[in-house]
């Protein structure tokens, strides 16, 4: 099932419009190429509607915000929604400032989001309308663990149901829900947190998977989460004594490039609740 999601990306080669932050734009573009999709990174309000119109899907990331970018994101999201294109929202740092939180909530209401992908604190902030994060990292109180897995799974499920989206809260354990089923995903490696932008990369990967599998958004989003986590494991296995986080970043993108549907099917570790 999950392997088919990857194979559809490679077969359809979706063109993904990514309005992302300047810290991770290059890695997100290369990640899209590695998975089999193609990137467009336009972010000026005067062209985003035109660019979105010729693309297949849209990823919106609020990592480096300014007022012009907010306008561009809204315009692109509304155009994509009008065209029936999937929209993935990454509410980076929601809860860390009023501007950031209000922007994420506005985009969630008005940009026709199909998928919301964030860490546990960001998803909790959107679910409750307020919260706190440690910069762009999840607050310790929101970390998903075996002890709070049931509670966090219910929060993600309820949030997805209320917003009519697929919600993905990612961390040591990842939770992906469409408001009914919840995928609890156990792939990944702690080294992923030592590289800036793995969450941003996951959001564009989810956009590619969901765009290539529009009738199975839940399974596609779960496949993307499993895929990047599995590639994080494979990248760490490649590390040598002289390698650091810069090498790991490259190995991660390489692993996405080389991942097959069969490897994803056999290597994905998850349960469905």
pLDDT in the model for residue 21: 93
Q: Is the pLDDT of residue 172 over 60?
A: yes
pLDDT in tens, 68-113: 999 999 999 999 999 999 999 999 999 999 999 999 999 999 999 9
**What distance lies between CA 59 and its chain's CA centroid?**
8
Tell me how crowded residue 234 is: count the other CB atoms within 10 A of its CB: 19
| 153 neighbors 248 (Cβ within 8 angstroms) | no
pLDDT value at residue 247: 97
Domain ranges of the chain: 2-272
Q: So what's the pLDDT on residue 135?
A: 47
Adjacency order of strands within the sheet including 38-40 = 38-40, 15-19, 57-61, 87-90, 115-119, 166-170, 174-177, 182-185, 270-272
In CATH terms, the fold of domain 2-272 is: 3.40.1190
Write out pLDDT tens, residues 121-150: 999 999 987 555 544 444 545 677 777 899
Residue with tokens 């063109």: 15
The pLDDT, as a whole number, for residue 136 is 47
- The per-residue pLDDT for 253 is 98
Q: Which residues contact 86 (CB under 8 A, 6 or more apart)?
A: 57, 58, 80, 114, 115, 207, 210, 211, 214, 217
Whole-model pTM? 0.94
* Residues 21-39, mean pLDDT to the nearest whole number: 97
**Average pLDDT value for residue range 246-269:** 98
22, pLDDT greater than 90: yes
Query: What confidence score (pLDDT) does residue 67 get?
Result: 93
Among 64, 6, 7, smallest CA distance to 205 is for 6
For residue 222, is pLDDT > 70?
yes
pLDDT value, residue 129: 76
Average pLDDT over residues 191-220: 97
């Amino acid at each position: 099932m999950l392997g088919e999601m990857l194979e559809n990306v490679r077969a359809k080669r979706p063109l993904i419009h990514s309005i992302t932050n300047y810290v991770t734009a290059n890695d997100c573009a290369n990640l899209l190429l590695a998975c089999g999709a193609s990137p467009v990174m336009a972010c000026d309000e005067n062209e985003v509607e035109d660019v979105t119109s010729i693309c297949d899907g849209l990823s919106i990331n609020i990592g480096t915000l300014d007022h012009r970018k907010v306008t561009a994101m809204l315009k692109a999201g509304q155009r994509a929604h009008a065209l029936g294109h999937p929209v993935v929202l990454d509410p980076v740092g929601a809860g860390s400032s009023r501007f950031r939180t209000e922007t994420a909530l506005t985009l969630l209401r008005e940009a026709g989001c199909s998928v919301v992908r964030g860490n546990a604190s960001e998803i909790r902030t959107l679910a409750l309308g307020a919260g706190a994060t440690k910069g762009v990292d999840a607050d310790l109180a929101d970390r998903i663990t075996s002890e709070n897995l049931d509670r966090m799974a219910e929060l993600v499920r309820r949030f997805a149901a209320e917003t009519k989206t697929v919600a993905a809260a990612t961390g040591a354990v990842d939770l992906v829900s469409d408001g009914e089923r919840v995928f609890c995903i156990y792939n990944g490696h702690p080294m992923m947190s030592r590289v800036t932008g793995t969450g941003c990369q996951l959001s564009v990967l989810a956009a590619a998977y969901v765009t290539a599998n529009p009738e199975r958004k839940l399974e596609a989003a779960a496949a993307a989460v499993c895929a990047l986590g599995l590639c994080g494991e494979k990248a760490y296995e490649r590390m040598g004594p002289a390698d650091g986080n810069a090498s790991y970043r490259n190995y991660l993108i390489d692993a996405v490039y080389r991942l097959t549907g069969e490897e994803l099917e056999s290597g994905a570790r998850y349960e469905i609740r």
